[in-house]
Amino acid sequence: MPLSSFSLLIALGALLGHLYLFRRLVWNLTPRRAPRLLAALALGAMTVVLVARRALQRMLPEAPGDVVELVSYSWMGLALCLVLALAGLDAGRAMLAVGRRLRSGASRASEPAPSVDAERRRFLSQATAGGALALGGGLAGYGSWRAFTAPEVTELVVRIPRLPRALEGLSIVQLTDLHVGAFIQRRFLDELVRRANALKPDLVAITGDLVDGSVPRLGGFVAALGNLQARYGRFFVTGNHDYSSGADAWVAHLRSLGITSLRNRHVRIGDAGGAFDLVGVDDWHGARRLGQKGYDLKQALAGRDPERAAVLLAHQPANFTVAAEQGVDLQISGHTHGGQLFPMTALIGLRWEHTAGHYRHGDSHIYVSRGCGFWGPPMRLGSPPELVKLVLTA
């Protein structure tokens, strides 16, 4: 979806969502003009902040920009949970009302419909609003807890017939979509690194969307990744968010931490007893938005022995079929977050063929991680974060 269309969708959703909240939580509950006006101003201001967040962050220094991000995304998540709770309760009330009418319709078709007095309507509105606040607040609290707690560990054995026997059982731990920034900082990364090291990986793959900010601002947090331990090394490929954060500067910073970036190239993993090619590509869209080359699978595969097994690190789960047909045995990706939040968890399949988890094309595999962190609202609902360990076998 083009950026302009996505921004328009966000703006429309923010406007309609805030109008719905105003109508159901303010207009129906209080007849007083002053509270209504204050609520309208507050909701209108948050609508403007959500729509103009990027412009505000570009205009402001980094510290005030962080405040804008913290406030806008926190409110976005809470507002979404309130809308979902209200919509669910309203739908339940509507179904109950329809059921009552259907049950009594035949016997009372000739009688006038009983009127519902204003006091009862007000009570029902207040009860629904109170229930929505409790349910929405509970959803927001759970989603926030799930986003900041340790990712689930997903361990999967992947069969690669061309894998040398000397590398049987080699393990790759994938970290992806950390989105280090205003919400995710050093403490989160220290715990993630501790858990990754506990899995005793032979190789660590960081598959993009590492940061949302500059090296001077976030470099101290990301330095925690220098403590990752792996026999065959730590490797990084760019994600779309890394380009808007200064991809070249981040690649240089990761190099100082001993983390190798694979930008449309491959390296050999193993020794004379057996090896495979680890291939890395730049992100599909992040580079091109800045007028750079971006994803180039042909260049990344150039010069490699086609008889050797190949593992591809690519941020987005795109082009997998083409990669498989060009000799890639396993592609490791992220980007989708598995939808991250309901209802996106149910809609993500409309955009991506491979949304989360393990898929195959012939003898080739792709694993799409839900990601370790989050982007936007600091919440996870229906798509918990994960830390992935892939064990290769012949």
Q: Domain containing 264 — which CATH number?
A: 3.60.21.10
Instruction: Record the tokens describing residue 161, joined without a space.
Output: 């017939």
pTM for the model stands at: 0.87
CA neighbours within 13 Å on the CB side: how many for 308? 22
Residues 126 and 160 in one domain: no
Residues 347 and 366 in one domain: yes
Comparing 22-31, 73-82, 301-310, the range with the smallest average pLDDT is: 22-31
pLDDT band at 257 (very low <50, low <70, confident <90, very high): very high
Q: Per the structure, how many domains does the chain have?
A: 2
Could you say which of 146, 163, 191 is where a domain stops?
146
pLDDT band at 1 (very low <50, low <70, confident <90, very high): very low
Residues 206 and 107 in one domain: no
Q: What is the pLDDT of residue 60?
A: 79
Residues 228 and 302 in one domain: yes
Residues 203 and 138 in one domain: no
Q: What is the pLDDT of residue 115?
A: 52
Q: What is the pLDDT of residue 2?
A: 45
Residues 247 and 384 in one domain: yes
Could you say which of 130, 146, 162 is where a domain stops?
146
Residues 337 and 358 in one domain: yes
CA 388-392-394 angle, 5° bins: 160
The domain of 66 spans 3-146
> Omega before 378 cis (within 30°)?
no
Residue 268 has pLDDT above 80, yes or no: yes
* pLDDT tens per residue, range 111-135: 555 555 667 767 777 777 788 888 8
Q: Assign 139 to helix, strand or coil.
A: helix
Residue 151 has pLDDT above 90, yes or no: yes
* pLDDT tens per residue, range 216-247: 999 999 999 999 999 999 999 999 999 989 99
Q: Tell me the residue ranges of DSSP E strands in 77-199.
A: 152-159, 171-175
Average pLDDT, integer, range 187-198 = 97
Is the alpha carbon torsion for 304, 308, 312, 317 positive or negative?
positive
